[in-house]
């Protein structure tokens, strides 16, 4: 079993399930140079983007997150995440980021969070 990063150790079972699902959706050759921590980073950057767009609210008292209905410009989101990745000097490519986004969408569809369009 792979050693868990500090971030992974503090994940809820649901979060761990999501990351594992997404990891397994990405073809093995495309995962070269990636870790599950990269998936967590992209998920956090997605939330930051949604918050900036007014599509995510965080209750300061409880920490509970609420996702709001609205349209997301996928190109803007990808560019936002790519910029965040570059600022952190991560080695993810735009293709890898898109694969993570695709895996997150598929997970959301399977969990009933999103409608299959």
Residue 79 structure tokens: 């560019």
With beta carbons less than 8 A apart as the criterion, state whether 41 and 90 touch: yes
Crossing angle of helices 94-111 and 74-87, in 10° steps, is 120
Other CB atoms within 10 A of residue 105 CB: 17
pLDDT value, residue 61: 87
Tell me the average confidence (pLDDT) per consecutive run of 10 residues in the chain, 117 residues long.
Answer: 59 89 96 93 94 90 84 93 96 95 94 74
Which among 18, 49, 42 is positioned nearest to 95, based on CA atoms?
A: 42
Question: What is d(CA 73, CA 50) in angstroms, rounded to the nearest whole number?
Answer: 10
pTM summary value:
0.85
């Amino acid at each position: 079993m792979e050693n868990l990063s500090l971030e992974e150790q503090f994940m809820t079972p649901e979060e761990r399930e999501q990351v594992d699902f997404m990891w397994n959706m990405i073809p093995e050759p495309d995962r070269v140079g990636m870790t599950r921590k990269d998936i967590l980073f992209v998920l956090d950057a997605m939330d930051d983007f949604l918050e900036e767009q007014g599509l995510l609210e965080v209750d300061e008292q409880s920490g509970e997150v609420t996702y709001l209905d609205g349209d997301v410009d996928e190109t803007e989101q990808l560019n936002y995440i790519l910029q965040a990745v570059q600022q952190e000097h991560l080695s993810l490519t735009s293709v890898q980021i898109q694969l993570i986004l695709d895996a997150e969408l598929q997970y959301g569809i399977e969990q009933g969070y999103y409608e299959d369009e």
